[in-house]
Every structure is written in C-alpha cells, then in structure tokens.
Amino acid sequence: MPPALAALLLGATCIALSPIFVRVADVGPTASAFWRVALAAPVLWPIAALAPRRSALAHWRLFLLAGIAFAGDLAFWHWSIRFTSVANSTLLANLASIFVTLAAWLFWRERPSARFLLGLAAALAGVVLLVRTSLAFSASALLGDAFGVITAAFYAGYILAVKDLRDRGAATLQLMAISTSITAVLLFPVALASGEALLPASAAGWLTLAGLAWISHCAGQGLIAYSLAHLPAAFSSVSLLFQPVMAAIFGWLFLGEALTPLQLVGGMVVLAGIYLARRASP
C-alpha cells in the first residue's frame, strides 16, 4: 500500500475514534471540544515552527473565520455525539462536502452538475431514513441528528476558509496551529458559561481528553493533511468516506451501538450520495 494512502486511511481512523473519546469523557460536550483544541495547540506550534514560515497577518480575517467555523463545528458535533448514535452523528457531519458545493452554487454561481444533484438527492434520502430511525428511538436522538447537520454546515465554512487560505499560500501546519488556537480561545468562555464540568475528575479523564487532542486532532488531521499533498483530490475525498464506516464500527465495538436495518440502509444511501457528489465536484 502506498505510504500516502496508508496515511489517509490511518488519519481517517484516528478521527473516527473522536466520538468514542467524547462519549466516555467525564466532562461536558463543550468542555471536551475546548480541551480537544487546547491540548492540541501546544503540540502543533512546535511542529509548525519547524516548517517554512509564511506571514499570516495579511489574512487574519480568514484565519478568524476558520477558527469561528471550526469552533461551531466541534461544539455542535460533540453535542450531536451525546444525543444521537456515533454512526448518525458522523454520517451527518460528512454532509459538509455537499454544503461546500451548494455554497459555491449560491455565492459564486458555480452551477453544479447533474451527477452532483443526483448525489444530493440520494444523501437527503439517506438522511430521511436516519431521522426516521432516530424518531423511533427518542426525541433527543432527533435533536442530535439536527446538531449533526448543523455541524456539517459549520465544517463546510471551515473547509472554504481553509481552501482560500491554502490558495493564498498559507502553510498547512501554520494553518492548523493558528486555527486550533483561535478555536480554543473561542470555546473557553462558551464552556465556562455552559455550566458543564470543565475539569476531568481523574487521571483517566485527562488521558481521554489527551487521546481526543493528540490522536484524533493532531495525528488524524496531520496524517490527512500529509496524504492530501500526495494523492489526487478526487480520490482522497472519496477515501475519507472510510471515516464514518470506522466510526460506526467503533461505536459497535466500544459502546454496543448496533446498527438497525433501517439505519444501515440510510447510512449506505448517505455514503453513496456523498460519493456521487464528491466525484462530481471539481
């Protein structure tokens, strides 16, 4: 297996572990989102310092936008994980790629292809099946699904901001370090105001948060960033669908979340829709 492909799949697997860390953490969802980036930033900055430095001040508005979008992404996704199944929350968050193309259509008049519209229709049909499963389970699960869709919208904003920064010459490691730090600054007062438990009650609790920060965030995002520089973009985006599949497997292994037949069909339809939409996107 080529090293870049191995890095891509390993990175997706690391990120797929994040819902498990969030679910077993002994702090609240917003607090775990804060610690995810607060513990990651001290690791990212020394690594970023080793890379060639490029001025970031000229694009501070885009960095701020990326930090705000990523803060919304993490906050809503962590709440989604608490309310609905790991499989549903991860699948719905992966609708971000569809939101990116829709934003390009609405704001930049980039007309989508017929294949993209077919993929969008399939993904929405899969979402309907996932929501029906949640309705049969509980009202809180339906709320978690809604948070998953909001997560996708925020993540799409993050992707667009990052793409713009990369087009302007921002280095990957520098981008990760700055956006992660901005996200931590934004989430800290939100976590304090939420009234959630902010500090873990045990060493095991700190280890859980460290795993979330260092395995899911630093290693996961870093490996994917490396792989994207060595693989075709279309192939990489499709291969990242490996993430929700692994998240569902981890949810079953560690949390006992078995997929219902309707949920399984809905998940497959969502994945097929995202696949079509990503293949149709430039």
Q: What is the pLDDT of residues 7-35, one digit of tens each?
A: 888 988 999 999 999 999 999 999 999 99
pLDDT of residue 131: 73
CA atoms of 67 and 254, how far apart (whole Å): 31
pLDDT of residue 95: 82
All residues at 6 or more sequence positions from 238 whose CB lies less than 8 Å from its CB, including other chains:
275, 278, 279
Mean pLDDT of 126-145: 78
Span 245-281, pLDDT tens digits: 888 889 899 999 887 888 888 888 888 887 777 676 5
Span 169-202, pLDDT tens digits: 777 788 889 999 999 999 999 999 999 989 999 9
Give the SS3 label for residue 55: coil
- For the chain, what is the domain count? 1
- Nearest Cα residue to 25 out of 84, 90, 79: 79
Higher pLDDT, 242 or 201: 201
Per residue in 128-140, is it b (16+ CB within 10 Å) or e — as a string? Answer: ebbbebbeebeee
Do the Cβ atoms of 103 and 279 come closer than 8 Å?
Answer: no
Per residue in 236-266, is it b (16+ CB within 10 Å) or e — as a string? Answer: bbebbbbbbbbbbebbeeeeebebeeebeeb
- Nearest Cα residue to 161 out of 67, 29, 37, 35: 67
Higher pLDDT, 87 or 150: 150
CA atoms of 99 and 101, how far apart (whole Å): 5
Length of the chain: 282
pLDDT of residue 171: 79
- When the pLDDT of each residue in the chain is averaged and rounded to a whole number, the result is 85
pLDDT of residue 269: 86
- The boundaries of the domain holding residue 275 are 3-280
All residues at 6 or more sequence positions from 21 whose CB lies less than 8 Å from its CB, including other chains:
32, 208, 209, 211, 212, 215, 216
pLDDT at residue 232 above 70? no
All residues at 6 or more sequence positions from 136 whose CB lies less than 8 Å from its CB, including other chains:
none
Span 207-228, pLDDT tens digits: 999 999 999 999 998 888 777 6
